[in-house]
Amino acid sequence: MSTASLEVENLHLWRGERHVLRGVGFALAGGQCLKVTGVNGAGKTSLLRTLAGLMYPEEGQVRWCGTDVRRDLRGFQGALAYLGHEPPLKADLTARENLHYWIRNRRRVSAALLAQALLRVGAEPFADRLVRTLSAGQRRRVALAGLTLCIVPLWLLDEPATNLDAEGQRLIGSLIAEQLARGGLAVAAVHHELPVALGAVRQLELAA
């Protein structure tokens, strides 16, 4: 299978009268991470949502493995995992049930693998509690377990370390490092330093 690559060329996005993305472009290959920075309202979330195909840019192109993602948007979306501000979890389901319904939508995942992912992110002790009883940091950890279980080449992370303690932030760093070591790519919008000590991390600063 060919190496994964993401190329973004001259993206322009308008939201009403606001020109949110002004000619954004970059290229990433397998094993590389892009850190997207910028002040509040600079368009970090809009960029990630545009990359994910949830927003439609007025101009520009996103290419996945050399092909315009619009040619097979569903196929491209199946190859990425997007973690937004809020973890996509149901308050009235347990953490384990949430992962069951979220991930088995994409691929068959055994109960053992699910338990392994929960253990990996330190969410095993509260895996059988209803999500409504979990703290914001615990919810984020459950979402991270889902992220690892997606097993996709491209991660799009919007403020992945939000609500996490120092150990949780190190966990983010190691998860991203593992994703890159497996040949994957990651684009992360962050306010603070991305806790990944790798030469493969590049930076894109968005102006307000």
Partner 1 sequence: MSAGNAPSVLELPVTAASAVAAVSAWAAARLALQRDLTLAFRKPAQLLQPLAFFALVTMLFPLAISPELSQLRLVAPGAIWAAALLASLLALEFLFRDDAQDGTLEQYVLSGQSLTALLFAKTIAHWLLTGLPLACMAPIAALSLGAPVGSLGAIMVAVVLGSVTLSLVGSIGAGLTLNIKRSSALLSLLTLPLSLPVLIFGARATQVAIAGGPVLAPLELLAALAVLGVTLAPLAAAAAVRISLE
Answer yes or no: are the C-beta atoms of 38 and 22 closer than 8 Å.
no
128 makes contact with partner 1 (CB under 8 A): no
Pairing of strands 33-37, 185-189: parallel
Name which of 42, 49, 44 is nearest 18 in CA terms: 42
The answer to whether 163 contacts partner 1 (rule: CB under 8 A) is no
Cα separation of 34 and 69, whole Å?
Answer: 19
Other beta carbons less than 10 A from residue 65's beta carbon? 16
> Rule CB under 8 A: is residue 52 a binding residue for partner 1?
yes
- Rounded Cα distance, 86 and 79, in Å: 21
With respect to partner 1, which residue has the nearer C-beta, 23 or 183?
183
The crossing angle, in degrees rounded to 10, of helices 111-120 and 136-150 is 130
DSSP state of 200: T
Q: Binding residue for partner 1 (CB under 8 A) from 70, 101, 191, 205?
A: 101
Q: Does 30 bind partner 1 (CB under 8 A)?
A: yes
84 binds partner 1 (CB under 8 A): yes
Structure tokens at 107: 């691929």
Instruction: Report if residue 112 touches partner 1, rule: CB under 8 A.
Output: yes
CB of 1 to partner 1, least distance (A): 4
Distance, in Å, from the CA atom of 172 to the CA atom of 16, rounded to the nearest integer, reads 35
Q: Under the criterion CB under 8 A, does residue 113 sit at the interface with partner 1?
A: yes
Quote the CA–CA distance of 121 and 142 in Å, as a whole number: 7
Establish if 25 lies at the interface with partner 1 (CB under 8 A). no
In angstroms, give the least distance from the CB of 205 to partner 1.
25
**Listed ranges 35-43, 109-117, 187-195, 199-207: which one lies at the site for partner 1 (CB under 8 A):** 109-117
Residues 183-202 within binding reach of partner 1 (CB under 8 A): 183-184
Stretch that binds partner 1, among 21-29, 161-169, 181-189, 200-208 (CB under 8 A): 181-189
Tokens of 206: 């968005």
Identified binder of partner 1 from the candidate list 25, 41, 88, 125, rule CB under 8 A: 88
Phi/psi at 150 (nearest 5 deg)? -60, -30
Site residues, partner 1 (CB under 8 A): 1-4, 30, 52-56, 74-75, 77-82, 84, 86-93, 97, 101-102, 104-109, 112-113, 115-117, 119-120, 148-149, 151-153, 178-179, 182-184
